[in-house]
Structure 1
Amino acid sequence: MRSLIPAEAYTDEAWFARERELLMRPLWQFVAPRMLLGKHNAFVTRSICGIEVVVQNFDGELRAFENICLHRQNPLQQQPQGVRPLVCSYHGWGYRADGAVDNIPFHDSAYRLPPQERECLRLRRFPVECIGQLVFVNVGDKPVAIEQQFSMDALASLRAASELFDSEVLIATIAGRLNWKLAYENLRDSLHPRYLHQQSVYQQVKFQVQMDETAVAAAKAYHAQGSADRDQHMDVLRGFSNGGLNEPIAQMPHYAWHENVERYGQDDWYLNWLVYPNLHIASGSGGYSFIIEHHQPVSAGRTDLQIYYVTARKKKRYPTSAAVLMAHLEGAEKVLREDIDVMEKVQSALRPGAPRAQLGDFEFGNIAVERWYMDVMEGRHAL
């Protein structure tokens, strides 16, 4: 089956800008694991659809605002994450949990703003939702309800697993010269690991092609016809986010540090969750440790992979916990580099008018997603 998505969807900046407005802004976007926001005044800053956003903990409640001071447009928080009051470093303006200005130093002698004008000064605020320990923000003018985007039943196992994430987090960023859609298409491809990852993850997990004939037929029918109305369109969207037990681990390794954490589940299986549009969570250790991959679109030809490594929650502190996370990073990065290398080659080969991909039946997940995506981009169904 020939793909519906043209090469321009991966390479053209005008397409990328339209994609941001039509697809990304109305949808809930992952921001960070909540463990980074556990303390009062803990914050993270992220760029979401070209908007600089700060998510901050105010006495246990998470609030999201545009990360720009109302005085002279200086970024309020200037680090990716940290613990600091929401105060501008330029002139000392401070902000409350509702986004209102709390303090303006030298107001009466220097600024002398009329009371009604000062009362109207509020940061632009965005809605925040959590699925377990995963924090999402929506920057759209008319946000879809989070229940319209995600099936909470389908993500129940992810919610339960994330509640066992430990508070010690190792963070890495890899800049990829590729379009974000290539990453998600690759994650839905269960055939490539036996070729691309022969000497890494495939040694331990023998990923199998799952030929669900009912799903194949449904995907082909949907590919040909699309959604009849918006309700069906949103119902299809909810089906894109799911996961759980994926494949058995051939030889499950056991390490001494396993005894120090509360394992999620008891199955010696590879765990895998996809959360549309650009989040992937996995455990290659059967629930002892996890990787959170966030594919952040920067431009048509660049995606930053923000990666978080965590173990399951500690039963007790142990001296090698940092080394465990570092070893986890090194092993996972080998697999990621294998994926990034081939995706960058695909990206470099794409050009206007290039032949579209030829999809096989085993790619029924991608077959459905691309029809849904093109219905959004071509205006048949708005979010």
Structure 2
Amino acid sequence: MDDRVQMKQLAYPPDTVIPPQRYSGDATFAEEVAKIFRRAWMFVGFANDLQNDNDFITAEIAGTSVLVQNFGGELRAFHNVCTHRYAQIHLRPCGNGKPVCPYHGWIFNRDGVPVGIPGNREHFGFDEAARKRLALPRFEVGVRGRFVFVRLEPGGRGLDEQLGAYGPVLDHLSEMFTDRIDEDVLPWDANWKTALESALEVYHVDATHPETFKKFAKKIWICSYEGEHSRGTTHLSDTSARWWDGVIERLGLPRSEMLRNYDHFMIFPNLAIGVTHGALMSVQTYDPVGPDRSNLHFRLFLGETSKPKTKGGPTRKAVEANVCGFNRTVLDEDRRVAESAHRGLKQVQVPAALGSCEERIAAFHQAWFARMAAE
């Protein structure tokens, strides 16, 4: 069969592909915020940052600042904006401290009510009912394993239902990968969809990552799906597999029995998790900042070593430096092509020509269309 005919048959119809004009624009972004990011359970951080009373984490969900706080062992989520004069309450990504606005010192309790207002009697005269009306808007919070999620608008499916079969995967990853070795927030001049798509196929590897990821994995890509979510699995190159076998042995690292290759999960809309040889986990969110910008927030984890003498030693440090450097290099290579694609899509009207090698992108587009069509 002629290759061109075969490719035409395997390509996805243009009407199933997000058109370029729907990647950008204020109207599209506002619709995504309303129909996707406010209604879906969004990953915001890890429960090990919320273990103690008054521990907190903060996150941005498509322009809404969120705080999750431990109140005597119970996690509660609120809008991270003071109801007095709109200052953000917690300014750090995580820490320990009561919800106290740094602007005027208003103190909020476990119900989000301002119970401490400096000069209330002299200047405001708020009674209990008035203070309750000034309570912080509260959001839903859910935890699966160590993964913490927030939903801005109530209603709809519960967290476990949204995750489906990937819920037990998060439980397993939470048990395996306990040591955070790197974390950063990287600004990308690209729409969140363009950024995320760089993680959903390996067709780009030869051209984009000739000295990095190309040498890391074989040309095998097996895809599967769970509702709105997807998984892609590829095999490590023989050289990479041998290197990781040696690292696991020398450091006494745990290795997952479930995930033995390079396993990549996408949990809709913007959470991507990669597991390397069952021994390394990368957690990435492609957080929308605006129609033309996003932030890539990544965290990198290893498991706890069974050889205490190696923890903090030169071999462990060398391994961490190696994998952290590799990860940052690959992400920067992805950033460059994603930003280039975003600049290009603003100059065209025809949808992308997706082939069968990009089936996870096509599945992501289907999930996007379904969410955007909901009332």
Length-normalised TM-score, structure 1: 0.83
Aligned to 1:68: 81
Mapping of residues 175-324 of structure 1, within 5 Å? 175-210=187-222, 238-243=226-231, 246-251=234-239, 252=241, 253=243, 254-255=246-247, 259-265=251-257, 268-284=260-276, 286-315=277-306, 316=308, 318-320=311-313, 324=319
Q: Does the C-alpha gap of structure 1 residues 243 and 336 become closer, same or farther in structure 2, counting only changes over 3 Å?
A: same
CA distance in 1, matches of 2:322, 2:54: 31
> How much does 1:156 deviate?
1.9
Aligned to 1:173: 185
- Choose from 65, 73, 97 the match for 1:52: 65
Q: Percent identity between the aligned chains?
A: 27
> How much does 1:148 deviate?
4.1
CA distance in 2, matches of 1:37, 1:170: 19
Aligned to 2:346: 351
For 2:190, the aligned partner's letter is L
1:367 aligns with 2:362: yes
CA distance in 2, matches of 1:10, 1:186: 14
1:122 aligns with 2:135: yes
Aligned to 1:227: none
> How much does 1:138 deviate?
0.7
- Contact map agreement 2:218 2:234 (CA 8 A) in 1: no
CA distance in 2, matches of 1:346, 1:367: 17
- Contact map agreement 1:264 1:288 (CA 8 A) in 2: yes
- Contact map agreement 2:217 2:234 (CA 8 A) in 1: no
- Contact map agreement 1:43 1:54 (CA 8 A) in 2: yes
State which drifts further: 117-126 or 313-322.
313-322
Alpha-carbon deviations, 1:271-329, whole Å to 9, x = none?
32211111111122x23221111100111211110111121134447224666544322
- Choose from 6, 9, 20 the match for 1:7: 20
How many residue pairs get matched?
Answer: 354
Q: Where does structure 1 lack aligned partners over 5 or more consecutive residues? A: 216-235
Alpha-carbon deviations, 1:153-177, whole Å to 9, x = none?
2342232012222254521111111
Alpha-carbon deviations, 1:324-343, whole Å to 9, x = none?
54432211011111111111
CA distance in 1, matches of 2:214, 2:349: 31
- Contact map agreement 2:231 2:264 (CA 8 A) in 1: yes
State which drifts further: 57-66 or 95-104.
95-104
Aligned to 2:117: 104
State which drifts further: 259-268 or 21-30.
259-268
For 1:319, the aligned partner's letter is G
CA distance in 2, matches of 1:282, 1:87: 37
- Contact map agreement 1:43 1:84 (CA 8 A) in 2: yes
1:333 aligns with 2:328: yes
- Contact map agreement 1:248 1:268 (CA 8 A) in 2: no
> How much does 1:196 deviate?
2.2
State which drifts further: 186-195 or 9-18.
186-195
> How much does 1:128 deviate?
0.7
Length-normalised TM-score, structure 2: 0.84
- Contact map agreement 1:158 1:273 (CA 8 A) in 2: no
- Choose from 63, 84, 94 the match for 2:107: 94
CA distance in 2, matches of 1:267, 1:188: 18
Q: Does the C-alpha gap of structure 1 residues 258 and 13 become closer, same or farther in structure 2, counting only changes over 3 Å?
A: farther
